[in-house]
């Protein structure tokens, strides 16, 4: 594995870091408190190419590789994990899924706008009784000839209210099990499509998370992605790539908390000297940076394997499992290093600790990642 980054990768890192520090950082606490992301920032992210990084320029994207994407994700998430998850869903799940599996008409109509950041997309898989178990879809799509009749409820949907287009997984042929599932492109505003309550979350509070409800929504046949029964394969394929994005988000949260802790340790004095000169703090900082670098290498490896069209399922699960655990551990230590100041919003690490927890849950819990890794080992 080549550990050196190209000039292009370094340029991506610099651009993402500049945007994160100069545009995202100033109001990050206010957005967290208000539980609302700034639409102007979303527009800027689109103009900078962050919303369709891996999408071909032919469809409005930046045409970059997965490694560029995770490098940018890390820098964005160092400052604002809410921006990171909005970016992750739009890139890894919505744009990537449409470009890989959608037809030309679907790409021209929807992908061109999504990749350019002109509109935001949502990925609708989770249900009240079907989270990680994608085979147990209670949302139904009945074939009515020229259209499907969509009924059901999806929850924990990132950008559920701000999105204009949703990719909805639904069961069409219950007797066929997972082979009877389809995926549909559903537009906000269609009759019968309503947005439910906004979740009052512990972390990533600036990204809106909603329940979405479908009551006799007529979905045109041309809005089905792939052949009849392709939905389960679509969901699994996109989630495998999505894990790399969440791993990069977790990596960014950990790295951001470490950088703040390192800076604070040099400034904060106890017993007449900076706390960075105390061995107990040095031990914490040393272990933090070691774990972060190990997580970064796992994330980069998964990204490179994806770019090289290798089987990256196990690598993606490993990177997501480890990076999310590192994020939770590092942010907890960051709060400890900051002491009482770490417990207040002004110093940022308490928000990062809250944000870190979700990375262990979405795109499959840590236990799910272990099952994926074991399945790949044993097959």
Q: How many CB atoms lie within 10 A of CB 173?
A: 16
CA angle 348, 91, 230 (to 5 degrees): 135
The answer to whether 214 and 169 have CB atoms below 8 angstroms apart is no
Q: Which residues make Cβ contacts (< 8 Å) with residue 167, sequence separation at least 6?
A: 93, 94, 97, 98, 121, 122, 123, 124, 183, 184, 185, 186, 225
Residues 6+ apart with CB under 8 A from 180: 171, 172, 173, 174, 229
**Which run of H or E residues covers position 316?**
helix 313-338
3-state helix, strand, coil in the chain (%, to 5): 60, 15, 25
Catalytic pick among 287, 350, 363, 367:
363
Alpha-carbon Rg for the chain in angstroms? 21
**Active-site residue flag, 333:** no
Question: Which residues are catalytically annotated?
Answer: 363
């Amino acid at each position: 594995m080549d550990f050196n980054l190209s000039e292009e990768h370094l340029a991506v890192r610099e651009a993402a870091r500049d945007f994160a520090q100069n545009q995202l950082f100033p109001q990050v606490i206010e957005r967290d408190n208000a539980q609302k992301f700034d639409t102007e920032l979303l527009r800027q992210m689109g103009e900078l190419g962050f919303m369709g990084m891996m999408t071909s320029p032919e469809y409005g994207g930046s045409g970059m590789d997965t490694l560029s994407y995770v490098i940018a994700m890390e820098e964005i998430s160092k400052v604002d994990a809410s921006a990171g998850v909005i970016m992750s869903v739009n890139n890894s799940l919505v744009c990537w899924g449409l470009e890989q599996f959608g037809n030309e008409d679907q790409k021209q109509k929807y992908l061109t706008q999504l990749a350019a950041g002109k509109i935001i997309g949502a990925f609708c898989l989770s249900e009240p009784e079907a989270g990680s178990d994608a085979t147990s879809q209670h949302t139904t799509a009945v074939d009515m000839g020229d259209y499907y009749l969509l009924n059901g409820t999806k929850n924990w949907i990132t950008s559920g209210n701000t999105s204009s287009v949703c990719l909805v997984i639904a069961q069409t042929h219950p007797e066929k099990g997972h082979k009877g599932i389809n995926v549909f492109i559903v537009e906000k505003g269609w009759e019968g499509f309503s947005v439910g309550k906004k979740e009052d979350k512990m972390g990533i509070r600036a990204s809106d998370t909603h329940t979405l409800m479908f009551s006799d929504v007529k979905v045109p046949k041309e809005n089905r992605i792939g052949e009849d029964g392709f939905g389960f394969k679509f969901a699994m394929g996109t989630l495998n790539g999505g894990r790399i994005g969440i791993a990069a988000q977790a990596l960014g949260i950990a790295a951001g908390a470490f950088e703040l802790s390192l800076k604070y340790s040099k400034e904060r004095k106890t017993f007449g000297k900076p706390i960075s000169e105390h061995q107990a703090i040095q031990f914490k900082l040393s272990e933090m940076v070691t774990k972060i670098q190990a997580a970064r290498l796992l994330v980069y490896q998964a990204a490179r394997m994806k770019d090289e069209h290798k089987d990256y399922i196990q690598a993606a699960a490993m990177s997501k499992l480890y990076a999310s655990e590192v994020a939770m551990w590092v942010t907890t230590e960051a709060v400890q290093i900051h002491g009482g100041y770490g417990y207040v919003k002004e110093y940022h690490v308490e928000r990062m600790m809250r944000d870190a927890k979700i990375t262990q849950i979405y795109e499959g819990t840590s236990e799910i990642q272990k099952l994926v890794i074991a399945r790949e080992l044993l097959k």
